[in-house]
């Protein structure tokens, strides 16, 4: 770690739980972030600011004017640009030492799996059931920890799915053979700060997993009711009959 890095990350280094060793782990880590919408727009700047050395960002969409109500990594000047290009430029301004790999395409489980080599943690910031299931399947196959978030209207939820410890996967909670709910922001709306609150918690969980500090949300689903501002925690367990991870342990 050079002098500039010691100064930039000094407030992390002052934390006994992180220190020099934890910050070095962050600098050497690689996070895969799927989705550059509201959740990814909130999580990504904190990952970059914290010094995650390599970020691979994935999204097949372009910035639309309707995105700007909540997707704060993009600007009015970004409208019409690929979201990954807009986010990559924003991260370069925030922390030019972070390496950003931009992937502009929609991925299935096999394609996601090809991106997991050397990845420390995966953040699912997507906005559709199919991508969430594909991401979960790829992470179970690779044994990669997954930080999953979702937000719609005034509600948010976050969990960590980490098959390395024999915990549940996303499909244990939301079986892939059940009908996918229609919960698109375009039809139901979303309260702007909800994606920020969920996305920043995702970033916090990812940084904890990388540095090995604290207790992750693995085995727990954290839910937020934004109208009453009440957090609720529900415990979740691995489903032995799960078609994704049931025979993996």
Q: Please, is 18 exposed, middle or buried when counting C-beta atoms within 10 Å of its C-beta (0-12, 13-18, 19+)?
A: buried
Annotated catalytic residue, options 139, 172, 185, 242: 185
CA distance 176 to 134: 9
Does 185 qualify as catalytic in the annotation? yes
Q: Other C-beta atoms within 10 Å of 186: how many?
A: 9
CA distance 1 to 18: 14
CA distance 31 to 87: 15
Residue 242 makes CB contacts below 8 A (sequence gap 6+) with 168, 169, 171, 172, 175
- Residues serving a catalytic function are 185
């Amino acid at each position: 770690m050079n002098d500039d890095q010691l100064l930039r990350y000094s407030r992390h280094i002052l934390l006994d739980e992180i220190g020099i060793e934890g910050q070095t782990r962050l600098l050497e880590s690689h996070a895969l972030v799927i989705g550059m919408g509201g959740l990814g727009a909130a999580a990504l700047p904190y990952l970059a600011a914290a010094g995650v050395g390599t970020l691979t960002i994935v999204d097949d969409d372009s910035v639309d004017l309707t995105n700007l109500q909540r997707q704060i990594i993009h600007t009015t000047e970004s409208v019409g640009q690929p979201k990954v290009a807009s986010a990559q430029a924003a991260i370069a301004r925030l922390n030019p030492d972070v390496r950003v790999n931009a992937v502009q395409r929609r991925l299935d489980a096999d394609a996601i799996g090809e991106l997991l080599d050397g990845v420390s943690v995966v953040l699912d910031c997507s906005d559709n059931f199919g991508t969430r299931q594909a991401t979960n399947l790829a992470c179970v196959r690779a044994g990669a920890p997954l930080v999953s978030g979702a937000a719609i209207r005034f509600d948010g939820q976050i969990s960590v799915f980490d098959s390395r410890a024999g915990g549940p996967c996303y499909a244990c909670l939301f079986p892939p053979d059940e009908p996918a709910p229609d919960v698109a922001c375009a039809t139901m709306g979303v309260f702007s700060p909800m994606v920020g609150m969920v996305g920043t918690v995702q970033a916090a969980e990812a940084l904890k997993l990388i540095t090995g500090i604290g207790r992750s949300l693995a085995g727990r689903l954290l839910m937020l009711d934004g109208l009453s501002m009440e957090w609720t925690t529900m415990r979740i367990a691995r489903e032995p009959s799960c078609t994704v991870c049931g025979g993996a342990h």
